[in-house]
Structure 1
Amino acid sequence: MSDTAAHRLLLVHAHPDDESIGQGATMAKYVAEGRGVTLVTCTAGEMGEILVPELEHLAADKEDGLGAHRKGELAAAMAELGVTDHRFLGGFGTYRDSGMKWHEDGHAVAADEVHENAFWHADLTEAANHLVTVIREVRPQVLVTYDEFGGYGHPDHIQAHRVAMYAAQLAAVPSYRRDLGDAWDIAKIYWSAMSASRIREGLKRLRDAGDTTTFEGMDPDHLPPFFLRDEDITAEVDAGDYTEQKMAALTAHATQITTDGPFFALSNNEGSWIWGRELFRLVKGTPGPVGDNGWESDLFAGVPAG
């Protein structure tokens, strides 16, 4: 990240690929505009499923080499987005992917067995201190992470939320851990958001395009509660011009994401609408000017440069 970038964004994510799915277009847009973008990834995603048959030997119950492989995928994805400052919380291998299972209600929960070094078991203050160091070094005006449910309940997403929010508080206290750098108060904090109305419309488009398997069983009229009402969303970054970079980043995460199915075929036709408009929920700070839809269009809106 450039030391001279007037605006600086910090994103805190749980696993490699989460960043490209959630804010890949926004990241590419801000890099292209000369803004600083720093990504902190909390685990290497060691427990992820493997969609590439010839790499199944890397699974956690076999060679357990998926984390190192996904580190390379993340680097390739960041190259596609133009992000040069990407780090693992506490350094690569400090925290392990906790894994998950699906609850009967349709959201993720902790797996029956969790590794002793799993991020879910991390000491909150210890993990937050790793992030405090980054915050005080980078001095971001904007932080993006998950909501308190981690989007869909994944324990590592929930823990990433806890660590990010706690670290943001600690980093702002001048007398706290002076050895970690000078205090820095992040002006605006956003949680990533998903719009219920857009999911409904998107499901209809998918079905009309012949995709009956993506989000199979999801009823557009009875969506899970982690999809938000539009009135609870506060910002939309229109980064449609960077959809191609986002898709390339998603493709780089080959063990986790396949881009040749109907879901991505649809996105190629309407990529700007589906992938290039990313939503956020302001939870700290003063909102800047809003558009006709009542949402900010820039996460840095109202934030002085410097």
Structure 2
Amino acid sequence: MTNRPLTLMAVHAHPDDEATGTGGVLARYAAEGIRTVLVTCTDGGCGDGPGGVKPGEPGHDPAAVAAVREEELRASCEVLNISHLELLRYADSGMMGWPNNEAPGAFWGTPVEEGAARLAELMREYQPDVVVTYDENGFYGHPDHIQAHRITMAALELTGLASKVYWTTMPRSGFAKFGEVMRELGEEWDEPAEETAEAATETAEAAEPVESTQGTQAAVREPAELPEIGLPDDEIQVWVDTREFGGQKFDSLAAHASQGENIFFLKMGKERFTELMGIETFVRVKDTTGTSLPEDDLFAGLR
């Protein structure tokens, strides 16, 4: 027998991703004495610079942006009481079709086997019982999210580790609620179908394999193969109540202040935010415990 603590590993693409989809479970399980490990794959250098300056605009310095975002990420980890932060430090690839996709060192252009080997080392070190990442479409088609999914699943195959593996998702009913709140706040809100169509168009434009000095990135799926964002409520298998930790999740997002223009959830205030973001949802893709579905605990069957 080993005295190794139960361990949750979350694999995310950028600084701030840890907060939106998994901030609640990271805070909850840390409070329950579970070791939490966050792996952030990219430096976030394609985020906003000072004053909201965008990538490619005068005054945008990716290295400076990355430095600020690392500080913010560390602050977010403190808020969530994350036990260990591991940074792979790949260059942020930007949105699908951006020139950054093919830049030297970009995560999207990195061979999956290389990223998987590095992540597998961390898995062997921490021996996670539960691993969480994105689905095969990276939830909404972002190249770095897709790549995070790919290296995670490949690393799990290499190591044979983790008793349970989950992909983040969102109930479709949640989009309607978000729309209502954002319109109340005077913000524009596209319907999910429109967002999905846009993501499919962007992906189609970048569907050719991406050549890089490090190897060839597998071709992206055709738009017809892309799933819609999120799932119908009755198809979601795992609903984890994290409302008790809604304030921490909100504060962890707020720690990423340099990206505040893009984090519209913060405009809701803590109470409304917790109401809408206090239940985190997942699809279970691996289970060795025999625990029946649906679940309300990622560690069901492990304690």
Q: How far has the Cα of 1:57 moved from its partner?
A: 11
Looking at structure 1, the residues matched to 262 and 249 of structure 2 have their Cα atoms a distance apart, in angstroms, of 12
Is 1:97 aligned with 2:73?
no
Looking at structure 1, the residues matched to 22 and 58 of structure 2 have their Cα atoms a distance apart, in angstroms, of 27
Does the C-alpha gap of structure 1 residues 271 and 38 become closer, same or farther in structure 2, counting only changes over 3 Å?
Answer: same
Is 1:156 aligned with 2:144?
yes
Does the C-alpha gap of structure 1 residues 268 and 160 become closer, same or farther in structure 2, counting only changes over 3 Å?
Answer: same
Task: Mark the runs of 5 or more structure 2 residues left unpaired by the alignment.
Answer: 197-227
Does the C-alpha gap of structure 1 residues 69 and 55 become closer, same or farther in structure 2, counting only changes over 3 Å?
Answer: farther
Q: How many residues align?
A: 268
Identity %: 36
Looking at structure 2, the residues matched to 299 and 120 of structure 1 have their Cα atoms a distance apart, in angstroms, of 29
CA deviation string 1:140-191 (max 9, x = no partner) = 111100011101111000000000000000012xxxxxxxxxxxx2111100
> What is the alpha-carbon root mean square deviation over aligned residues?
2.7
Which deviates more from structure 2 when the two are superposed, residues 222-231 or residues 145-154?
222-231
Which deviates more from structure 2 when the two are superposed, residues 265-274 or residues 162-171?
265-274
Tell me which residue corresponds to 1:189.
Answer: 165
CA contact (8 A) 1:5 1:36 kept: no
CA contact (8 A) 2:52 2:261 kept: no
Tell me which residue corresponds to 1:211.
Answer: 185
Looking at structure 1, the residues matched to 58 and 37 of structure 2 have their Cα atoms a distance apart, in angstroms, of 28
Does the C-alpha gap of structure 1 residues 212 and 284 become closer, same or farther in structure 2, counting only changes over 3 Å?
Answer: same
Tell me which residue corresponds to 1:11.
Answer: 10
Q: TM-score, structure 2 length as denominator? A: 0.80
Looking at structure 2, the residues matched to 37 and 29 of structure 1 have their Cα atoms a distance apart, in angstroms, of 10
Match of 1:201 among 177, 196, 200: 177
Looking at structure 2, the residues matched to 260 and 22 of structure 1 have their Cα atoms a distance apart, in angstroms, of 13
Tell me which residue corresponds to 1:63.
Answer: 61
CA contact (8 A) 1:47 1:99 kept: yes
Q: How far has the Cα of 1:115 moved from its partner?
A: 1.3
Q: TM-score, structure 1 length as denominator? A: 0.79
Q: Output the amino acid matched with 2:98.
A: A
Looking at structure 2, the residues matched to 278 and 232 of structure 1 have their Cα atoms a distance apart, in angstroms, of 14
Describe the SS at the equivalent of 1:189: strand
Describe the SS at the equivalent of 2:280: strand
Does the C-alpha gap of structure 1 residues 170 and 35 become closer, same or farther in structure 2, counting only changes over 3 Å?
Answer: same
Task: Mark the runs of 5 or more structure 1 residues left unpaired by the alignment.
Answer: 101-108, 173-184
CA contact (8 A) 1:12 1:145 kept: yes
CA deviation string 1:83-142 (max 9, x = no partner) = 1301112xxx3x110111xxxxxxxx2313431110011121111111111111111111
Looking at structure 2, the residues matched to 76 and 244 of structure 1 have their Cα atoms a distance apart, in angstroms, of 15
